[in-house]
Structures are given as structure tokens and as C-alpha cells.
Amino acid sequence: MAGSTVLAALKLLSSALLLSQLCAATPVKLEERQAYAMIGDGFEEATMTLGSYYNYWSITNGTYDLTRSQRAPTTSPKTLPMMGDRKAIKIEPNRTALVIIDMQNFFLHPELSPGAVDGRGAVAPTVRMIEGFRKHGMKVLWVNWGLTEYDLLTIPPAFKAGFSGGSNLANETFGSDMGTLKENGTTIEVGRMLMRGSWNAEPYGVLGTMKDEGIKAGTDLWFDKNRLSGLWGPQTPLGLWLQENEVSTLFFGGVNADQCVWSTLVDAYFKGYDVVYVDDISQTTSPSYAVNMTRYNAQGYGEFPQVKWQKQS
């Protein structure tokens, strides 16, 4: 498919697809032989449907069709190769979005996070990914820490301790003034830590410019979050928008891969979205943990040979 070739050239292929939990209140009729289709009994090319009419995947020959096209209209679905256990996915652009998490000055600027070398390395692939998504009419969603005074009152002490940079725990965490830094001879007010509208909570470098352009053009949207996950609890601004716009498939990138990206991805999975972890735009200061988490979940659960369920006769 022409579209997927373009996207693949943008390294969109660096993804592993995780299984989304599907509501199965009214299961589509499943022929018994189709349940065997994954285990090499000669029916690999049969189409298997998982889920109900309202929410389902169709799987043919290792390609997971996520478009739910019998129930909802399609525009120009794209088929993309995957890195994980599943070979390929087919997506409907109008119901697919890119979620970019925490690519903020606080986590990436060399003066504020000198160790975030891999995160800064993710900027260039993220730019290409944004361009690919915009080109195919798929929304780009910026999901970032953006705290309010109310959040400072209600956020638990465990989070304040976790984000405290110094020995003065109470005054060196969310909401505290981070002073100034100098860049190219200009003094920058870093602002209060991860507060909405502060400089440190803005996307880093060229991503800030791209975010502004995208929001102006209507291709991108901005969502503040007040926990590691942008989809925690009963509802969040991001969750409400996804629900109201009937988006079902989410691609994830940002920092840190094993923290904010991962917890948002896991919450999305729990809430029933199809979730795609994009390897080269998800980075962290603790890469071996992220590698193990994603490998464990996307490539057959750790180092044990994957046991396929087989019906006993």
C-alpha cells in the first residue's frame, strides 16, 4: 500500500503491538477451526475475528486489522509492519492518533536533565513521525505534565517525594521555582516545576515550534496531565477527547519510556484502546529496564518459549 510504504520509510515500523482487551458481550461466531489458526494447522490464512460487532479485530495471516470497518466507515486504511510478536497491523487513519509524552524542557534540556542523551536522540525520529502522521491526516496529541494550584494541593506526597530533586523535599518538587538558566547569552526563566504554562513544561527545542504550528493548523492537540499517566482514574482531558472523537488506536512515544510513556500506554490498554509502542521515539534514562519491559510484553513474555493454548480432545 502506498501509504504504508511512505510511513515505513519514516521508521514507523519500529513498533510492537500489544493486545487490547476487547469487550465480548456478543461474540462474533467463531468457527472452532479458526481458533487453531495461530498454531500452524494449515488454516493460517483464515480470518479470525476477536471481539463483538461493536469492537473487534480481524486477523488474517498474521495481519491484525484494527479498523472495525464493518461498524465504522473507513477512509484509506494503512497496513504497517510491526517488530513484535505480531507481523503487521491495518489501521484507519481517522481513528488513529500519535501520543507524544513529556518531551518537555524539564526532561530533555541539557541544563535541566544532562543525562537525557537518549531522550534528546528521540527528537529527530519524533519529528519524522509527526510529519508522517500529519501527512496522513492522523492527529498528533501532546500529552504533558501541566500542573495547577489545585494539583499541588491534591497530588499525593509519594509523587512529590518521587519528583524532588534535592534535600529540601518540600520546596524542590512540583510547583517550586526553578530559577533561571542562560542559553545563547539569553536568560530564561525556567519557571515553577512542571506547572502549566511554564517554560520548563514546554516541549524541548524544535518540538516546541512544531507543537505551536500543529495546534494552529488544527493537526495537533495539547493535553495537560497531573500524574505519570495521561489516562489515569475515571477520566482525563485526553481520555475525554479520545472518547468523543472515537479514536481507537494509539501510537506512543516520548520520555521516559518505562515511566510516563509506559503508564499511559498501560492505562490505554486497560481502557480498551489498541496500543502501539514505537521503539525509536520512546526513550529513557534507564534503557535496559525499558527494553526488558517492552520485550517482555510485545515479544512473547520474557525468555520462556511462548506456550500456545491448544484445545485438548
Ligand X SMILES: *[C@@H]1O[C@H](CO)[C@@H](O)[C@H](O)[C@H]1NC(C)=O
List residues near ligand X by CB under 6 A. 45, 61, 94, 139, 168, 170-171, 183-184, 186, 205, 245, 247, 288-289, 292
Rounded Cα–Cα distance for residues 76 and 86 (Å): 22
Return the closest-CA partner of residue 227 out of 218, 219, 214, 237.
237
19 or 291: CB nearest ligand X = 291
125 or 175: CB nearest ligand X = 175
Answer whether 223's CB lies under 8 Å from 145's CB: no
Distance of closest approach, residue 205 Cβ to ligand X, in angstroms:
6
Return the closest-CA partner of residue 91 out of 150, 33, 8.
8
40 or 156: CB nearest ligand X = 40
| CA–centroid distance for 1 within its chain | 24
Distance of closest approach, residue 278 Cβ to ligand X, in angstroms:
18
58 or 227: CB nearest ligand X = 58
Answer whether 131's CB lies under 8 Å from 174's CB: no
Distance of closest approach, residue 54 Cβ to ligand X, in angstroms:
18
27 or 299: CB nearest ligand X = 299
Distance of closest approach, residue 204 Cβ to ligand X, in angstroms:
10
- Show the beta-strand stretches assigned E in the chain: 15-18, 47-52, 55-60, 63-65, 78-81, 88-91, 96-101, 139-145, 180-183, 186-189, 220-225, 249-254, 274-282
Distance of closest approach, residue 313 Cβ to ligand X, in angstroms:
27
